[in-house]
Structure 1
Amino acid sequence: METPEPIWDIAHLGHVELLTPKPEESLRFFLDVMGMTEAGRRSDSVYLRGWDDYERYSLQLTASHTSGLGHAAFRTRSPQALARRVAALRAAGHEVWAQEGEFGHGTGWRFRDPDGHLFEIYYETEWYEAPEALRPALKNQAQRFPARGVNVRRLDHFNCLAVDVRACREFFESTLGFRCTERIELDSGEEAGMWLTATNKSYDFAFTKEAHGVPGRFHHVTFALDSREAILQAADVFLENGVFIETGPHKHAVQQTFFLYVWEPGGNRVEVANAGARLVLAPDWKTITWTEAERRKGQAWGLQTIKSFHTHGTPPLPDGVQD
């Protein structure tokens, strides 16, 4: 049987938009505690970046009546790749519409996944030009190291919650060409988690099972640090700043990410991790499937997954739906 030609049209995760009902508190968290840099403002949004993100921004923080994911965006490898993916989405019967006049990049083409999350693909982008005060000593670095708070280096990945994880995986595989590196399958045959990549990173985003049957919810966004030691130091920074630490530092079994999870003031879960440390170089990588029994063992070194990790998401649950 002939192996299908892989689709390499998506280059990487570009940015994530977080909604927050506490915009000033959330902004102070990302600037002072996470150590991000403000890259601009427009309307109800502030645009932020890690010190080695090459694009102008990687986080759009938007004031809202609630929390959660506004949208997530992927950059394509070329204008032609963008056109191919828009055509593939439409050929599969999905609505795709142009989003013009966006901050920091050209026309975005937006669509929704089977669970209702909003996504965008684009190509034209604005490379970050550091002002004199933030210019690095080494020209192959985007910005001077901030030496402030956690000092996040770059956006790494995000995790959405979904009612039907398998349907979302198949959607991203068939229309955008993402590859599944790891997944979780319950004894019932239901898919409870999937990790997808467009690059040699082990994953660019993940979807896990939404426990309440409510579509369109968000689990977390992750920013990369340089080392495990940096994540341990981040725990002290969070402690000193009164930030709620939900779980970690510890090591995941799935993908082996060294992790630390906190909640920012708007209620969204934020992770710092050395997630990009593990690469998938094999072009014929075989998806790792974890069983329900294997996942009951907890994380890599035996830490049991806490209840809130399966129940807390944003936006908050609708009235009448119990955690």
Structure 2
Amino acid sequence: MNLQVILGNFALILFVLMVVTGVIWFLDVFYLAKQRRAAADRALAEYDARNARLTADGVKVDNTGNRAQLEAGILRQPTWIEYSGSFFPVIALVFFLRSFLFEPFKIPSSSMVPTLLVGDLILVNKFTYGIRLPVINQKIVQINNPQRGDVMVFKYPMDMSQDYIKRVVGVPGDKITYENKRLTVNGVEVKYTTLDDYLNDERLVYNKQFEENLTGVSHRILNDESKPTYNRDSVFPFPNSEACTYRSEGFSCVVPAGNYFMMGDNRDNSMDSRYWGFVPDKNIVGKAIVVWMNLGNLRRIGSIH
């Protein structure tokens, strides 16, 4: 599923804005403000000297407010500096929060139904899998590793400009087998419980719905009986493809070190690791933790699990 941030590469946009407004703010604080102060002091000195001469010549001088207005006018920040100084701390705070703590995304497609619906606005924890430098996404502090069952956001391996969201079904070293629409992890069949059929609002058809217990993490999945286990013709060449064996009834993959195998909960309507391969650790963005808003359905607000 392609995740859409409110503005394209928002992290880069924020970074550029922060740098530009920050440079202007620091320039004003440490140089331009001092220049204005020096100019104001010279103007006030000239003003006081002129008034002193006029007084000595017997001319009555009315200083009511004039001196203060002169000083305020010279010390006033130019509009472009004033706005930059006002925006800089706000932009810096937003950049820090979304780069290191939490980032919002919007769900635009149905590959994670029924867990996530179209229009869900979610928050992604950016630090649970380690602290990464913004924009370049380089990990600098290791904290936790993704676990099976986590709903994770990552950079799409075939186009790093796109953010995707799927569920982690395989961690490094796992053997993942998917046959007849059922998962097996390291030789152990994943347990399924049949639930009531799920109404697909987009197509107005019912899909088979199951509760999948993925090594201790329970969640709902959907199956479309009209579609095959996977479409062999839709499989792209991908790195480490030799770790996978494809058959007519399904496939098996051994997850390479430093990589993860991802699948959508809407199994037959999801382009995922079955088709474009593994997700390297360097592509990880964060862990999806909560639906914070859905303007079309306020009951969606709450934990993803």
**TM-score of the aligned structures, taking structure 1 as reference length:** 0.22
Q: Which has the higher helix share?
A: 2
Higher relative contact order (CA 8 A, sep 6+): 2
